[in-house]
């Protein structure tokens, strides 16, 4: 799970050991719980050390996952986040996959909703899209890392898609799933990134219309191919490019949130923040609302009345 996504969801990331035969320990929170279902990565992006240190692909047994999610549902956890280093490769090498698992999880009695942490572009299958579109128990939110808007930089990163492929898939997702939030990661200052490469990134990010950006400045990791590439970008250039993309991301997030003024959203109420209750909608918008503390740790229907930047404000219509 991307660190910034975790922070915004109020999740404390802790490593969870792979298990065989026993449920893995779960860092459960009052309003949200992580369930790790996968580990390992074999994609070897040129900037990433993870495949070198996390080993081969591993998928947690389906029965363990179902048992843990059922327990969390019985305990009243309103939102469960499925996590993994490479979530979309759950079940790789076995006769199952992420969509198969989700189809079983949404049938669990008392389940609030499930959020996917992060998934790669080519692992968003038609079956997965159909499930998200059809089930109210699956959050209308996909975090799909783009990383860059230049095909030359994507190739240097060893990312296995083109900008055009990503944009085409994003358009398909927007038409297939109503109210879908599409969030992404962008790396600025990758070695060799030209002004034209960066401007292309700004252009494609704006045209796709992500609902939120997580922007990272490239930092070389010892032992990765990218650390030894020529054309390392000066710090001040990375800072400037990062600031520009962050500002764009804030504008995109505000535009996405503005769609919901006058509408109802289902919000997982997390905590009290001053005079308001604070929570997250299923499509990843921060919502502040007036209501009793008894709603903390529950899903509530909220009618949106106003907006401040990317945050929405409304009134609780009742528990969901």
Answer whether 297's CB lies under 8 Å from 269's CB: yes
C-alpha–C-alpha distance, residues 79 and 100, integer Å: 20
- Residue 12 is predicted with a pLDDT of 41
Structure tokens, 273: 């923040």
- Residue 42 is predicted with a pLDDT of 82
Answer whether 79's CB lies under 8 Å from 112's CB: yes
Q: Mean pLDDT, consecutive 10-residue segments, the chain of 320 residues?
A: 46 45 46 92 86 82 96 95 93 90 97 96 95 97 97 96 97 96 98 97 96 96 92 96 98 98 96 95 96 93 97 94
- Domain closes at, from 119, 143, 167: 143
- Residue 52 is predicted with a pLDDT of 76
Q: How many residues would you count in the chain?
A: 320
- Domain closes at, from 124, 143, 162: 143
C-alpha–C-alpha distance, residues 236 and 241, integer Å: 9
- DSSP H helices, the chain, are 3-8, 50-54, 62-74, 98-105, 126-134, 151-157, 163-176, 195-208, 235-258
H or E, element range at 188: strand 181-188
Using the structure block, give the residue that is written with the tokens 């995109």: 252
Domain with 284 in it: 264-319
Using the structure block, give the residue that is written with the tokens 């604070």: 278
Whether residue 52 is found in the same domain as residue 139: yes
Whether residue 209 is found in the same domain as residue 138: no
Q: For residue 307, give Cα distances in angstroms to 58, 154, 262.
A: 43, 36, 10
Q: For residue 304, give Cα distances in angstroms to 20, 108, 280.
A: 45, 30, 13
Structure tokens, 174: 């927007």
C-alpha–C-alpha distance, residues 98 and 37, integer Å: 9
Q: Is 178 exposed, middle or buried (0-12, 13-18, 19+ CB in 10 A)?
A: exposed
- Residue 27 is predicted with a pLDDT of 41
Whether residue 9 is found in the same domain as residue 128: yes
- Residue 49 is predicted with a pLDDT of 85
Whether residue 132 is found in the same domain as residue 172: no
C-alpha–C-alpha distance, residues 46 and 28, integer Å: 33
- Residue 95 is predicted with a pLDDT of 83
273 forms beta bridges with 276
Whether residue 247 is found in the same domain as residue 294: no
Using the structure block, give the residue that is written with the tokens 């899209």: 129
C-alpha–C-alpha distance, residues 316 and 275, integer Å: 13
Whether residue 133 is found in the same domain as residue 188: no
At 266 the three-state DSSP class reads strand
Structure tokens, 167: 């944009």
Cα 206 to its chain centre, rounded Å, is 19
- Residue 103 is predicted with a pLDDT of 97
Whether residue 276 is found in the same domain as residue 245: no
- Residue 30 is predicted with a pLDDT of 62
C-alpha–C-alpha distance, residues 74 and 4, integer Å: 29
The enclosing domain of 217 has a CATH number of: 3.30.750.200
- Domain closes at, from 105, 124, 143: 143
Whether residue 18 is found in the same domain as residue 77: yes
Domains contained in the chain, number: 3
Whether residue 168 is found in the same domain as residue 304: no
The enclosing domain of 56 has a CATH number of: 3.30.750.210
Whether residue 164 is found in the same domain as residue 175: yes
Whether residue 232 is found in the same domain as residue 268: no
Whether residue 6 is found in the same domain as residue 129: yes
C-alpha–C-alpha distance, residues 5 and 116, integer Å: 11
- Residue 31 is predicted with a pLDDT of 81
Q: For residue 276, give Cα distances in angstroms to 54, 288, 293.
A: 41, 6, 10
């Amino acid at each position: 799970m991307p660190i910034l996504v975790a922070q915004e969801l109020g999740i404390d990331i802790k490593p969870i050991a792979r298990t065989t035969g026993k449920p893995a320990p779960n860092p459960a929170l009052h309003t949200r719980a992580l369930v790790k279902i996968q580990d390992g990565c074999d994609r070897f992006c040129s900037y990433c050390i993870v495949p070198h240190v996390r080993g081969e692909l591993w998928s947690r047994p389906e029965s363990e996952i179902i048992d843990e999610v059922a327990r969390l549902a019985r305990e009243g956890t309103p939102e469960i986040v499925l996590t993994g280093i490479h979530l979309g490769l759950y079940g790789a090498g076995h006769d199952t996959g992420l969509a198969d698992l989700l189809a079983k999880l949404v049938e669990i009695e008392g389940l609030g909703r499930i959020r996917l942490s992060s998934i790669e572009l080519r692992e968003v299958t038609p079956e997965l899209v159909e499930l998200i579109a059809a089930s109210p128990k699956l959050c209308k939110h996909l975090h799909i890392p783009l990383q860059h808007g230049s095909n030359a930089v994507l190739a240097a990163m060893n990312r296995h898609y083109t900008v055009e492929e990503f944009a085409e898939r994003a358009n398909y997702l927007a038409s297939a799933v109503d109210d879908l939030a599409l969030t992404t990661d962008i790396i600025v200052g990758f070695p060799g990134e030209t002004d034209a490469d960066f401007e292309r990134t700004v252009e494609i990010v704006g045209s796709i219309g992500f609902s939120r950006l997580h922007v990272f400045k490239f930092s070389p990791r010892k032992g990765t191919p990218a650390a030894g590439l020529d054309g390392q970008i000066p710090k001040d250039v990375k800072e400037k490019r990062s600031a520009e993309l962050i500002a764009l991301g804030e504008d995109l997030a505000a535009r996405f949130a503005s769609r919901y003024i006058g509408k109802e959203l289902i919000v997982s109420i997390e905590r009290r923040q001053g005079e308001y209750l604070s929570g997250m909608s299923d499509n990843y918008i921060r919502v502040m609302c007036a209501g009793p503390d008894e709603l903390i740790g529950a899903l509530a229907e909220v009618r949106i009345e106003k907006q401040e930047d990317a945050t929405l404000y409304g009134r609780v219509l009742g528990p969901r």
